[in-house]
């Protein structure tokens, strides 16, 4: 284990030896065939987790899509699981698996209404979903698309109630009790969370009982095995969402762990549901994908999906892939639930990983780390940029860099020197950025 280091605003000066090591270890990244070394690294792994340094960068989504297409077509991956809500993503799943009433990917993705809508309602995801639907139309077994996240408390409650009302049985009474418990808060999960600070009562008992009732039903309800799995998953989301929102008012670290443990549990359920030999591609932010033990998150007792997957399935069955950029534009908001904006991404902070990779040569590059030698070649702590859905380009160097040992946090890294904001499906988009949106991309 590498000694941890707390966050600072300065990184050690990059040496020529480090720059040379990066040049020697990296490959140019110009198009999908350049991903071959990463496909070789994946080998027979069961889970490939693909990150992103922001939720609003076109090239991150495009390269993840290209890599995912190859994992599906060449290595038989079973499903894609993303940092999105289960009910919304399950509508996408119905579309890509051939629901004749699905319409177009753009129409389905327009239904993502919870802020930040642009995370999944964007042209890049629409293009991938259309490709996946075409692929599935000729496939022996359809490749699914699912959400791993925990935010959809009310949406999942409504889904469970609808399922139980259609199928009948005493479990519907448990759903109504849960509904009555949450009803006073007017579908405002944060209002519910705040209320639990003032009084000891919560809806924890009701959601636990509802999950137990759903799991105790007839194992072959109307709609079959998939319908039961979806109902159980919505009940699980409800239980864990209730815990997440209660934890949120007590502190960020506790709620973070509830959320990532839920995502790990959901990933495991999906692998089990898809049967022996199932393989998963995951799309999430770097902060969820890159092993938290090689960041300063570990100092605060925080875990993430990448760490939990490595611990459960082993390093040989899990490949973690990070993404980063030196400069460009991004879609983000200036505050929570603020209008989306196209913002500039300033040059990477001096001597951060983004700056060092840029100085090694201003080109897109792929690094696949040798587990036995990675720590020795660049095993040092440097800031690694993380842009959230809320972003202030003028203040980013004081809060957007996570101290990271890059070759231990990830198994591979895609560095895209200059990137563009993705293309949201919902409008309008405010344009704060002064950087032109016309420079070329490898994908």
pLDDT digits (tens, 9 = 90+) for 15-27: 899 999 999 999 9
Q: Is residue 8 scored above 60 in pLDDT? A: no
Least confident of 53-57, 63-67, 134-138, 397-401: 397-401
Tell me the CA distances in angstroms from 437 to 58, 59, 329, 422, one per residue in order. Answer: 11, 12, 8, 10
Residue 2: the pLDDT is: 40
Q: Convert the pLDDT of each residue in 410-422 to its tens digit.
A: 999 999 999 999 9
Q: Are residues 159 and 136 in the same domain?
A: no
Report how many domains make up the chain: 2
CB atoms near residue 48 (< 10 Å)? 26
Confidence of residue 439 (pLDDT cuts 50, 70, 90): very low
Q: Are residues 319 and 420 in the same domain?
A: yes
313-330 average pLDDT score: 97
57-68 average pLDDT score: 98
Task: Kindly state whether residue 266 falls inside one of the protein's structural domains.
Answer: no
Residue 443: the pLDDT is: 63
Angle between the N-to-C axes of helices 224-248 and 252-274, in degrees from 0 to 180, rounded to the nearest 10: 170
Task: Kindly state whether residue 130 falls inside one of the protein's structural domains.
Answer: yes
Task: Kindly state whether residue 10 falls inside one of the protein's structural domains.
Answer: no
Least confident of 181-190, 260-269, 356-365, 374-383: 374-383
CB 403 within 8 A of CB 296: yes
Q: Are residues 293 and 422 in the same domain?
A: yes
Confidence of residue 440 (pLDDT cuts 50, 70, 90): very low
Residue 437: the pLDDT is: 52
C-alpha torsion angle, residues 414, 416, 420, 425 (rounded to 10): -10
Tokens found for residue 189: 């999960």
Cα angle for residues 225, 228, 234 (degrees, 5° grid):
140
Residue 434: the pLDDT is: 53
209-227 average pLDDT score: 79
| CATH number for 366 | 3.40.1660.10
Instruction: Look at residues 210, 228, 261 and tell me which one is the last residue of a structural domain.
Output: 261
Q: Are residues 398 and 310 in the same domain?
A: yes
Instruction: Return mean pLDDT, the chain.
Output: 91
CB 210 within 8 A of CB 263: no
Q: Is residue 346 scored above 50 in pLDDT? A: yes
Structural domain of 192 = 153-261
Task: Kindly state whether residue 369 falls inside one of the protein's structural domains.
Answer: yes
27-48 average pLDDT score: 97
Between CA 236 and CA 210 the distance in angstroms is 9
Q: Are residues 296 and 233 in the same domain?
A: no
Between CA 91 and CA 434 the distance in angstroms is 36
Task: Kindly state whether residue 267 falls inside one of the protein's structural domains.
Answer: no
CB atoms near residue 405 (< 10 Å)? 25
Residue 5: the pLDDT is: 47
Residue 420: the pLDDT is: 98
Better pLDDT: 433 or 120: 120
111-119 average pLDDT score: 94
Q: Are residues 31 and 119 in the same domain?
A: yes
């Amino acid at each position: 284990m590498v000694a941890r280091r707390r966050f600072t605003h300065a990184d050690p000066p990059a040496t020529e030896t480090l720059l040379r090591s990066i040049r020697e270890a990296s490959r140019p990244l110009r198009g999908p065939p350049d991903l071959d070394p990463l496909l070789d690294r994946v080998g027979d792994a069961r889970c490939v987790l693909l990150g992103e340094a922001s939720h609003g960068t076109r090239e991150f989504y495009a390269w993840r899509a290209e890599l995912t297409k190859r994992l599906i077509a060449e290595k038989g991956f079973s499903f894609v699981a993303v940092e999105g809500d289960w009910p919304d993503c399950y509508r996408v799943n119905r579309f890509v698996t051939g629901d004749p009433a699905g319409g177009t990917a753009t129409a389905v993705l327009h239904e993502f209404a919870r802020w930040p809508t642009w995370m999944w309602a964007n042209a890049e995801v629409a293009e991938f979903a259309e490709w996946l639907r075409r692929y599935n139309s000729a496939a022996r077994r359809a490749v699914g698309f699912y959400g791993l996240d925990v935010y959809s408390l009310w949406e999942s409650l409504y889904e469970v109630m609808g399922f139980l009302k259609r199928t009948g049985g005493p479990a519907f009474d448990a759903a109504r009790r849960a509904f009555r418990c949450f009803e006073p808060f007017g579908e405002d999960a944060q209002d519910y969370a705040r209320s639990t600070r003032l009084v000891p009562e919560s809806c924890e008992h009701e959601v636990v009982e509802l999950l137990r009732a759903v799991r105790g039903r007839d194992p072959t309800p109307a709609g079959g095995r998939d319908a039961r799995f979806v109902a159980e998953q919505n009940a699980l989301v409800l239980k864990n969402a209730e815990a997440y929102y209660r934890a949120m008012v007590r502190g960020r670290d506790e709620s973070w762990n509830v959320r990532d443990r839920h995502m790990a549990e959901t990933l495991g359920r999906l692998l089990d549901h898809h049967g022996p030999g199932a393989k998963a591609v995951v799309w999430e932010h770097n902060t969820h994908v890159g092993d938290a033990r090689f960041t300063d998150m570990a100092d605060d007792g925080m875990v993430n999906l990448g760490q939990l997957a490595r611990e459960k399935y082993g390093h040989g069955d899990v490949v973690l892939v990070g993404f980063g950029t030196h400069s460009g534009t991004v879609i983000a908001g200036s505050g929570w639930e603020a209008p989306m904006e196209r913002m500039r991404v300033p040059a990477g902070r001096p001597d951060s990983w983004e700056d060092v990779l840029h100085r090694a040569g201003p080109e897109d590059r792929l690094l696949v780390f040798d587990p036995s030698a990675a720590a020795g070649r660049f095993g040092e702590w440097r800031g690694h940029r993380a842009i959230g859905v809320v972003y202030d380009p003028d203040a980013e160097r004081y809060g957007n860099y996570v101290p990271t040992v890059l070759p231990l946090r990830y198994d591979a890294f895609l560095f895209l020197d200059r990137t563009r904001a993705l293309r949201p499906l919902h409008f309008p988009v405010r344009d704060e950025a002064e950087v032109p949106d016309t420079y070329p991309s490898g994908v």
